[in-house]
Chain A
Amino acid sequence: MKSVLSLQVALFVVIVAALAFLPVFASPYGLTLMIGMLGYVTLATAWALFSGPTRYVSLATVAFFGIGAYTVAVFSESMAYPLLLLVSAAIGLLVASVVGFATLRLAGVYFVIFTFGLAELIRQLVTWYEVNMTGTLGRYIFLPVTPEGIYWQLLGLAAITFAISWGVGRSRIGLALKVIGDDEVVAAHCGINVARVKLALFAVSSTIITLVGAIQAPRWTYVEPVIAFNPTVSFLTLIMALLGGANRLTGPLLGAVPLFLLFEWLSANFPNHYSIILGLLFIAIVFILPRGVLAFAEENWKRWRRHEVKTVPGVAE
């Protein structure tokens, strides 16, 4: 058992190291693709970190993503770059704590609606502040960050996110989360501090999402609330995590990579039908693969081997 574990860790390190050398060989467009892909892999993994085990479907991804991007835009001229990322993370953490503390007692569809509203609320607050206090809406980001730099930072963040996700899955807190996901009342009776566990995970997950926004922001040069708080980011993250299976470590990865490539292929070859195909795909995923491809493959594998299959309810149900 132990050797399997060390093998897995070694494999992980080798993959990350290999990916780190990719910019040397990749074309500029390949690098752009990898940046987009890594961004969504990190977003989906961070999303699943909280929403997977607890089954709290969050649409607040873009709220934190936008906070990260906007913080970089606001302070890009007055701070050193590493400090910029730290401040973004701190603001993300603060907002996540306040919001989480106030709302994590909501459940089910109420939570979904609330998180969707949160992104809009933050966008409107930023707009209001910019209009009435600073008198400008668009902000410029002129940072000397190269695409390679962005790629390596995202890779680092993705690796850290995986490590956290792996660690949480094996810890007491991970077990506590699963119990909460199965039945919150039982969890409370088992002596789990439900509110604290949920809040901690929500905060960690949101901070990572904030950092993804902060790292990617220099690519845009120009940031407006409409650009930074684009709700599509939330939906894409959600559907990627669901496709792969939000309850597994590599689930979001296996959802994000093929979907991202598919979207890219669709928008290059079917620019006029993209939105229609995307909508159909969303419906298909939720209906056919509610527990994700990994679980789907596993169930069918077992069924094929004539084993009893016990289905676990998915996040989308």
Chain B
Amino acid sequence: MKTFQRRHVLRTTAAVLALAVTDLGTFALAQDKTSVRFGYAISKTGPNAGGAGITTLPNYQLWVKDVNDAGGLEMPDGKKLPIEVIEYDDRSSSEEVVRAVERLATQDQVDFILAPWGTGFNLAVAPLFDRYGYPQLAVSAVTDKAPDFVQRWKKSYWMLGGGHDYAKALAAILADASKAGTINNKVAMISVADGFGIDLVTAARPAFEEAGIELVYDKTYPVGTSDFSPMINEASASGADTFVAFSYPPDTFALTQQSQVANFNPKVLYLGVGTGFPIYGKNNGDNATGIMSLGGIDPNNQENAAYRKRHEEVTGVAPDYWGSVITYASLQMLQEAIKRKGLDREAVSAELSTGTFQTVLGETKLEENQLRKLWWTGQWQNGQFVGVAPSDRDGASKIVLPRQAWTK
């Protein structure tokens, strides 16, 4: 009796399996080229949803709308094909993002795959993009190892620099200001004990030492810390004119509030991710002026200004001042490369590596598959977060130090 039943159960399972397989198989049917299929897996839920929902996803949606409103994606023969999107939620799980990208490549057989959000996720899917021959425009990934990755995965493009770039730019600014006598050469630094904070702080320590800056206070704090007053008090007592926090968005907002409450007024205040969010400027008004962070924009770039306006109109939220515009620019590069080379991924990848493109960033060209023309340091000035370093770059704003005390 029992064996019969087990066999029955097994048979049912087999039937279910067979059904599932045929169901999945129907996706793979070849289609006429009446549209171009783009796919992506992005964190719509889970811990990464916040970042992905600000920097990446709105730009993907905005770009697809822009292209389709203009009649579609232009091919080399001038024909325009509308974009069709297949979107998956990776639920902030790396196993899921791997499977979703594999599904996009082999089941859905999309023409191009857009990159996921986050350093870890871009690395997790990089071998797949490489194996199936898709170009990977990794924007929201900060890594110092990009030069190695480019060698390993020829079709990968890294667009946001590495921790060393940002740390060195900051060290140079501080060294100059201290030489000019604006600030003393002492720095108090705190950092979040997670990917971003650790990368930056490991790069910052040697960079500060090289620049002759003395690190008088150096603490890490766990993710989710909400009370920063002990750290603020100690930093305040350390005698440093500069306070640096490589922090995540909630920490950045809390640090700003709690520094005001404690009346902590360092002459240089440098905070981490979140400083470049539009809401940060809105919340803090004049008090944001002078606060520095990573990223920035050229306030006089008309195309960028137009992009920001359209982004807010279409998606309902303003773009951030760091990765957003670069995400959109990466899509424009892809669009232009497809216009020049068609849907041949090999040729499009080669074009991305060597071509020069007109984007919202201005003229854009990759160096060894990396975008190196970036704003390493930005500062809030007149209600905008503007790029101040590298200071010799066109469109750089002049840094204003020391920052004003909090007004209450």
Whether A221 and B124, one on each chain, are in contact in the complex, defined by CB atoms closer than 8 angstroms, is yes
Q: In the complex, which residue of chain B has the Cβ closest to the Cβ of A250? A: B6
Closest-CB distance, A188 to chain B (whole angstroms): 32
Whether B16 and A222, one on each chain, are in contact in the complex, defined by CB atoms closer than 8 angstroms, is no
Whether A136 and B94, one on each chain, are in contact in the complex, defined by CB atoms closer than 8 angstroms, is no
In the complex, chain A residues whose CB is within 8 Å of the CB of B13:
254, 257-258
Q: Does B127 contact A (CB under 8 A)?
A: yes
Chain B 380-408 against A: per-residue CB contact (8 Å), 1 yes, 0 no?
A: 00000000000000000000000000000
With A138-B119, A138-B120 already in contact, the answer to whether A226 and B47 are too (CB < 8 A) is yes
Q: Does B202 contact A (CB under 8 A)?
A: yes
Cα–Cα, bound, A246→B94 (Å): 28
Cα–Cα, bound, A128→B198 (Å): 11
Whether A294 and B45, one on each chain, are in contact in the complex, defined by CB atoms closer than 8 angstroms, is no
With A140-B123, A271-B87 already in contact, the answer to whether A128 and B193 are too (CB < 8 A) is yes
Whether A227 and B94, one on each chain, are in contact in the complex, defined by CB atoms closer than 8 angstroms, is yes
Cα–Cα, bound, A264→B202 (Å): 39
In the complex, chain A residues whose CB is within 8 Å of the CB of B102:
28-29, 32
In the complex, chain A residues whose CB is within 8 Å of the CB of B88:
267-268, 271
Q: How many residues of B contact A (CB 8 A)?
A: 47
In the complex, chain A residues whose CB is within 8 Å of the CB of B94:
220, 222, 227, 230
Whether A294 and B9, one on each chain, are in contact in the complex, defined by CB atoms closer than 8 angstroms, is yes
Chain B 82-106 against A: per-residue CB contact (8 Å), 1 yes, 0 no?
A: 0000011101011110111011011
Q: Does B154 contact A (CB under 8 A)?
A: no
Whether B9 and A29, one on each chain, are in contact in the complex, defined by CB atoms closer than 8 angstroms, is no
Cα–Cα, bound, A53→B47 (Å): 35
Cα–Cα, bound, A137→B192 (Å): 11
Q: Does B220 contact A (CB under 8 A)?
A: yes
In the complex, chain A residues whose CB is within 8 Å of the CB of B99:
32-33, 36, 264
Cα–Cα, bound, A29→B102 (Å): 6
With A130-B198, A258-B13, A267-B88 already in contact, the answer to whether A297 and B44 are too (CB < 8 A) is no
Cα–Cα, bound, A294→B20 (Å): 21
Q: Which residues of A contact B (CB under 8 A)?
A: 4, 27-30, 32-33, 36, 124, 127-128, 130-132, 135-138, 140, 142, 216, 219-222, 224, 226-227, 230, 232, 250, 254, 257-258, 261, 264-265, 267-268, 271-272, 274-275, 294, 297-298, 301
Q: Can you list 17 contacts pairing A with B, beta carbon distance less than 8 Å?
A: A4-B3, A29-B105, A124-B222, A131-B198, A135-B198, A138-B120, A220-B94, A220-B95, A222-B124, A227-B94, A232-B93, A257-B17, A265-B23, A267-B91, A267-B96, A268-B24, A297-B5
